[in-house]
Structure 1
Amino acid sequence: MNNKAGSFLWNLRQFSTLVSRSRTLRLCPLGFCKAKNVHSNWNSRNLLNDFDSGMQPSFRYFSRDVFLLKSVDDCTQTKGVSNAAVFRFDRILCPRRLSFDAKHSCVSDGTADNDLKKVTIYRASSEDAHSKEMKPNPVSHRKLAQECNSLSDVLDMFSRAPTFPSSNYFSAMWTIARRIPDDQRRFEIQLMFRHPAFNQLCEHAMREAKMMHYSHLLFSLNAIVKLGVPQNTLMVQTLLRIIQERINECDEKDLSVLSTVLETMEPCANVHALRAGLQILVDQQVWKIEHVFILQTVMKYIGKDTSVALKKKLEMKALKELDKFSVVNSQHMFEVLAAMNHRSVVLLNECSKMVTDNIHGCPFKVLVSILQSCKDLRYQNENLFKSIADYVATTFDIWKLKQVVFLLILFENLNFRPSDLMDKLMEKIMEEPESLNMKSILAVLHVYSSFNHVCGSQNKEFLEAMASALTGCLHHMSSENLLNALYSFCIMNYFPLAPLNQLLKNNVINELLTSGDVKKNVHKLHVLNTCLELDNTAYHKAVHIPLPQPPPPLPLYQNPKIEKALSRILGGEGGFSKNVQLPHNYHIDFEIRMDTNRSQVFSFSDGNEASATNMQRGAVLCVPKCVYCLNSSHPRGLFAVKMRHLNAMGFHVILVHNWELKKLKLEDAVTLLKNKIYSVEAHPTNINLE
Structure 2
Amino acid sequence: MNNKTGCFLWNLRQFSTLVSTCKRRTVKLVYPLGFCRTVNVLPYWNPRNKFLNDHENGMQLSIKYFFQDALSFKSGDVGFQTNGISTVRVPMNDRLLCPRRLSFDSKRSFATVGMSDGGLKKIDFDHEVSNEDVLIKETKPSHQKLSQEYNSLSDVLDAFSKAPTFPSSNYFSAMWKIAKTMSEDQKCIEKQLMFNHPAFSQLCEHLMREAKIMYCDHLLFSLHAVVKLGLPQNTLLVQTLLRVVQVRINECDEKCLSVLSAVLAAMEPCKNVDALRAGLRILVEQQVWKIEHVFTLQTLMKCLGKDAPNTLKRKLEMKAVRELDRFSVPNSQHMFEALAAMNLRSVVLLNGCSKMVVDNIHECPFKKMVCILQSCRDLRYRNFDLFKGIADYVVSTFDVWKLKQVFLLLALFENLGFRPVGLMDLFMKKVVEEPEFLNMKNTLAILLVYSSLNHFHEHQNKEFLDIMADALTGCLHQISSENLLNAVYSFCLMNHFPLAAINQLLQKDIISELQTSGNVKRNAYKLHLLATCLELEDTPYRKSTDVALPAVPSAPVYPNAKLEEALSSLLGGEGCFSKNVQLPHNYHIDFEIRMDPSRSQVFPVSDTDVVSSAADIQRVAVLCIPRSSYCFNSNHPRGLLAMKMRHLNIMGFHVVLVNSWEIERLEINDAVTFLKNKIYSSEALLTTDVNLENTC
Query: What TM-score comes out, normalization by structure 2 length?
Result: 0.81
Q: Aligned runs of 1:530-609 on 2, under 5 Å? A: 530-555=532-557, 557-606=558-607, 608-609=609-610
In 2, the alpha carbon distance for the partners of 1:59 and 1:197 equals 26
Alignment check: 8 A CA contact 2:528 2:550 kept:
no
What is the aligned partner in structure 2 of residue 15 from structure 1?
15
Q: Aligned runs of 1:26-105 on 2, under 5 Å? A: 66=68, 82-84=83-85, 98=99
Name the aligned partner's letter for residue 690 of structure 2.
P
Alignment check: 8 A CA contact 1:11 1:106 kept:
no
Q: What stretches of structure 1 of length at least 5 have no aligned partner?
A: 27-37, 45-57, 69-79, 87-95
Deviation for aligned residue 1:251: 0.7
Deviation for aligned residue 1:590: 1.7
Is 1:214 equivalent to 2:239 in the alignment? no
Deviation for aligned residue 1:450: 1.3
Q: Aligned runs of 1:144-183 on 2, under 5 Å? A: 144-183=146-185
Alignment check: 8 A CA contact 2:67 2:275 kept:
no
In 1, the alpha carbon distance for the partners of 2:361 and 2:641 equals 34
Is 1:662 equivalent to 2:661 in the alignment? no
Deviation for aligned residue 1:307: 2.0
What is the aligned partner in structure 2 of residue 374 from structure 1?
376
Alignment check: 8 A CA contact 1:603 1:610 kept:
no
Name the aligned partner's letter for residue 221 of structure 1.
L
In 1, the alpha carbon distance for the partners of 2:315 and 2:694 equals 58
Q: 2:355 aligns with which of 328, 353, 356?
A: 353
Is 1:687 equivalent to 2:686 in the alignment? no
Query: What is the CA deviation profile of residues 19-42 of structure 1, one whole-angstrom value per residue up to 9, with x for unaligned ones?
Result: 53214269xxxxxxxxxxx9x9x9
What is the aligned partner in structure 2 of residue 325 from structure 1?
327
Deviation for aligned residue 1:183: 4.6
In 1, the alpha carbon distance for the partners of 2:579 and 2:597 equals 21
Name the aligned partner's letter for residue 586 of structure 1.
Y
What is the aligned partner in structure 1 of residue 524 from structure 2?
522
Name the aligned partner's letter for residue 687 of structure 1.
E
What is the aligned partner in structure 1 of residue 490 from structure 2?
488
Deviation for aligned residue 1:606: 4.4
In 2, the alpha carbon distance for the partners of 1:10 and 1:626 equals 80
Deviation for aligned residue 1:388: 1.1
Name the aligned partner's letter for residue 132 of structure 2.
S
Distance 1:98 1:461, change over 3 A: same
Alignment check: 8 A CA contact 1:327 1:358 kept:
yes
Deviation for aligned residue 1:574: 2.9
Name the aligned partner's letter for residue 337 of structure 1.
L
Distance 1:400 1:191, change over 3 A: closer
Name the aligned partner's letter for residue 20 of structure 1.
V
What is the root-mean-square deviation of aligned Cα atoms in Å? 3.8
Alignment check: 8 A CA contact 1:533 1:540 kept:
no
Alignment check: 8 A CA contact 2:592 2:622 kept:
yes
In 1, the alpha carbon distance for the partners of 2:69 and 2:184 equals 32
Q: Aligned runs of 1:641-660 on 2, under 5 Å? A: 641-660=643-662
Q: 1:261 aligns with which of 241, 260, 263?
A: 263
Instruction: Name which of structure 1's ranges 268-277 and 570-579 shifts more when overlaid on structure 2.
Output: 570-579
Name the aligned partner's letter for residue 575 of structure 2.
G
Deviation for aligned residue 1:621: 0.9
Percent same amino acid among aligned pairs? 62
Instruction: Name which of structure 1's ranges 162-171 and 633-642 shifts more when overlaid on structure 2.
Output: 162-171
The SS at the match of 1:579 is strand
Query: What is the CA deviation profile of residues 638-680 of structure 1, one whole-angstrom value per residue up to 9, with x for unaligned ones?
Result: 1010011011111121222111111122232233223323334
In 2, the alpha carbon distance for the partners of 1:425 and 1:537 equals 27
Query: What is the CA deviation profile of residues 414-461 of structure 1, one whole-angstrom value per residue up to 9, with x for unaligned ones?
Result: 111111111112222222223322222222222221111122133222
Deviation for aligned residue 1:533: 1.0
In 1, the alpha carbon distance for the partners of 2:123 and 2:343 equals 60
What is the aligned partner in structure 1 of residue 59 from structure 2?
none
Distance 1:163 1:679, change over 3 A: same
Distance 1:431 1:266, change over 3 A: closer
Name the aligned partner's letter for residue 691 of structure 2.
T
Query: What is the CA deviation profile of residues 581-619 of structure 1, one whole-angstrom value per residue up to 9, with x for unaligned ones?
Result: 211111111222223232333333446337753223221
In 1, the alpha carbon distance for the partners of 2:437 and 2:272 equals 52
Is 1:502 equivalent to 2:508 in the alignment? no
Name the aligned partner's letter for residue 379 of structure 2.
L
What is the aligned partner in structure 1 of residue 386 from structure 2?
384
What is the aligned partner in structure 1 of residue 366 from structure 2?
364
Alignment check: 8 A CA contact 2:625 2:660 kept:
yes
Deviation for aligned residue 1:10: 9.1
Query: What is the CA deviation profile of residues 364-421 of structure 1, one whole-angstrom value per residue up to 9, with x for unaligned ones?
Result: 2121111111111111111111111111112111111111111111111111111111
The SS at the match of 1:592 is strand
Alignment check: 8 A CA contact 2:576 2:602 kept:
yes
Query: What is the CA deviation profile of residues 80-119 of structure 1, one whole-angstrom value per residue up to 9, with x for unaligned ones?
Result: 9811599xxxxxxxxx9657699xx853547569xxx996
The SS at the match of 1:125 is helix
In 1, the alpha carbon distance for the partners of 2:669 and 2:115 equals 101
In 1, the alpha carbon distance for the partners of 2:327 and 2:407 equals 31
In 1, the alpha carbon distance for the partners of 2:111 and 2:394 equals 65
Name the aligned partner's letter for residue 422 of structure 1.
M
Query: What is the CA deviation profile of residues 483-522 of structure 1, one whole-angstrom value per residue up to 9, with x for unaligned ones?
Result: 2222111111111223323333333333333333333222
What is the aligned partner in structure 1 of residue 54 from structure 2?
none
What is the aligned partner in structure 2 of residue 125 from structure 1?
132
Distance 1:410 1:10, change over 3 A: farther
What is the aligned partner in structure 2 of residue 24 from structure 1?
23
Name the aligned partner's letter for residue 450 of structure 2.
Y
Alignment check: 8 A CA contact 1:63 1:83 kept:
no
Query: What is the CA deviation profile of residues 171-201 of structure 1, one whole-angstrom value per residue up to 9, with x for unaligned ones?
Result: 2333344344445544544554455544443
Alignment check: 8 A CA contact 1:63 1:82 kept:
no
In 2, the alpha carbon distance for the partners of 1:226 and 1:22 equals 37
Alignment check: 8 A CA contact 2:154 2:197 kept:
yes
What is the aligned partner in structure 1 of residue 237 from structure 2?
235
What is the aligned partner in structure 2 of residue 35 from structure 1?
none
In 1, the alpha carbon distance for the partners of 2:202 and 2:650 equals 80
Name the aligned partner's letter for residue 599 of structure 2.
R
In 2, the alpha carbon distance for the partners of 1:9 and 1:587 equals 95
Instruction: Name which of structure 1's ranges 599-608 and 392-401 shifts more when overlaid on structure 2.
Output: 599-608
Distance 1:226 1:625, change over 3 A: same
Is 1:107 equivalent to 2:112 in the alignment? yes
Query: What is the CA deviation profile of residues 300-326 of structure 1, one whole-angstrom value per residue up to 9, with x for unaligned ones?
Result: 222221122222222222222233322
What is the aligned partner in structure 2 of residue 464 from structure 1?
466
Distance 1:520 1:166, change over 3 A: same
Distance 1:436 1:410, change over 3 A: same
What is the aligned partner in structure 1 of residue 48 from structure 2?
none
Distance 1:478 1:686, change over 3 A: closer
In 1, the alpha carbon distance for the partners of 2:117 and 2:666 equals 93
Aligned length: 631
Instruction: Name which of structure 1's ranges 632-641 and 510-519 shifts more when overlaid on structure 2.
Output: 510-519
Alignment check: 8 A CA contact 2:66 2:247 kept:
no
Deviation for aligned residue 1:253: 0.5
The SS at the match of 1:687 is coil
What is the aligned partner in structure 1 of residue 290 from structure 2?
288
Q: Aligned runs of 1:436-451 on 2, under 5 Å? A: 436-451=438-453
Name the aligned partner's letter for residue 248 of structure 1.
N
In 1, the alpha carbon distance for the partners of 2:509 and 2:573 equals 54
